[in-house]
Amino acid sequence: MRRRHWFVVSICALAVMLAGAPHSFGAGFALYEGSARGNALGNLAGSADDPSAMFMNPAGITQLPGLQVMAGATVISPMVDVQTTNPYGGNGNTESGERNYWIPPHLYASYQFNDSVWFGLATYSRFGLGTEFDDDWWGRYNNYNAVVQTLSFNPNVALKPKWNPILDLDLVRVARLLAQRRRIRTGRIMFFGIRPPYRKIGVDAVLFHEVLTIAWGKGYRAGEGSMLLEDNDLILRACEAMGGYLYKTWRIYETPIS
């Protein structure tokens, strides 16, 4: 009798939760469905008690013993309604998108090599889904089919060094850092700017000379110029004149999806 009572109470509580659930809105094309268990826990993918930890927090695999594998997929069926108002006539239009099904997969594998080293391999989809409308709908000249499909391949190595009660104390670590500071031979120039009225009159050369002189005197022999815009000819030529060279390029791509 008591078991039946708890069953009825659980069903009533679930019904109240579903009835009081607010509306939810999608986050663009970002996907957070990293595992089936994470979906059941409210998109808590990346918890540190299963291999899906590599979705959010790869360091969590250090809590997994031996070899563990997790695979699955999520079925997503987005529903889209587009509502617009004619600025001239005031009449509104509503168009519903086609009902499509998207199945982003996920595969995780973790292996404990020893007490301090773990290896992990993860494959999942960070971004995806799409929208589709009839070819002859009133907004067809802007968009009638937009699809984004991605697949991330993420190998991991997680380290869990053993704690030394003496050498790993904060005071000991600070003292070790101070003792080794003179061995650092490279630095990074974070910011460098000159007001427009003072450019091309030699102020930059004086600043460069001062920075190089001070850095050389403190034992630095190389520097990282941080991120430089490729159309900033003045700073690029100055870096090349001082022996600098391009070793890494970052690109940002943009494209409309509607």
Q: Please give the tally of structural domains in the chain.
A: 2
Domain C-terminal end among 129, 159, 189:
159
Q: Looking at the structure, do residues 191 and 223 belong to the same domain, yes or no?
A: yes
**Residue 127 belongs to some domain of the structure:** yes
The region of weakest confidence among 13-17, 46-50, 97-101 is: 13-17
Query: Which residue, chain included where needed, has tokens 């002859």?
Result: 136
List the domain range (segments joined by +) for residue 191.
170-241
**Structure confidence by residue, pLDDT tens digits, 127-169:** 777 778 888 777 777 777 777 778 888 899 998 887 777 777 8
Q: Are residues 48 and 126 in the same domain?
A: yes
- Does any domain span residue 212? yes
Examine the domain organization and report whether 77 and 45 are in the same domain.
yes
Choose one of 159, 188, 220: the last residue of a domain: 159
Domain shared by 140 and 41, yes or no: yes
243: enclosing H helix or E strand: none
Q: Is the pLDDT of residue 92 over 80?
A: no
CA–CA distance, 181 with 187 (Å, rounded to integer) = 12
Please indicate, yes or no, whether residues 155 and 174 belong to a single structural domain of this protein. Answer: no
In terms of domains, do 123 and 212 share one? no
Q: What is the mean predicted confidence (pLDDT) over 207-230?
A: 85
Asked if pLDDT for residue 175 goes beyond 80, the answer is yes
Largest CA distance in the chain: 92
Task: Assign 3-state DSSP to the chain and report helix, strand, coil percentages, each to 5.
Answer: 30, 20, 50
Assess if residue 254 is contained within a domain: no
Averaged over 214-235, what is the pLDDT?
84
Same domain, residue pair 142 and 202: no
In-domain check, residue 3: no
pTM over 0.85: no
Question: Mean pLDDT across the stretch 117-127?
Answer: 88
* Residues 32 and 150 both lie in one domain: yes
- The answer to whether residues 151 and 224 belong to one domain is no
Q: 127 — alpha (psi -120 to 50), left (phi > 0) or beta?
A: beta
Residues 202 and 85 in one domain: no
| 224 found inside a domain | yes
Q: What is the pLDDT of residue 87?
A: 67
Task: Kindly state whether residue 95 falls inside one of the protein's structural domains.
Answer: yes
Please check whether residue 15 lies inside any domain of the structure: no
* Each residue's pLDDT tens digit, 27-75: 456 677 777 777 666 655 556 778 888 888 888 888 899 999 998 888 8
Pick the last residue of a domain from 139, 159, 179: 159
Quick one: 219 and 150 in the same domain?
Answer: no
Q: Is residue 229 part of a domain?
A: yes
Phi (first) and psi of residue 239, to 5 degrees: -65, -45
Residues 90 and 112 in one domain: yes
Q: In which element (H, E) is residue 72 found?
A: strand 67-73
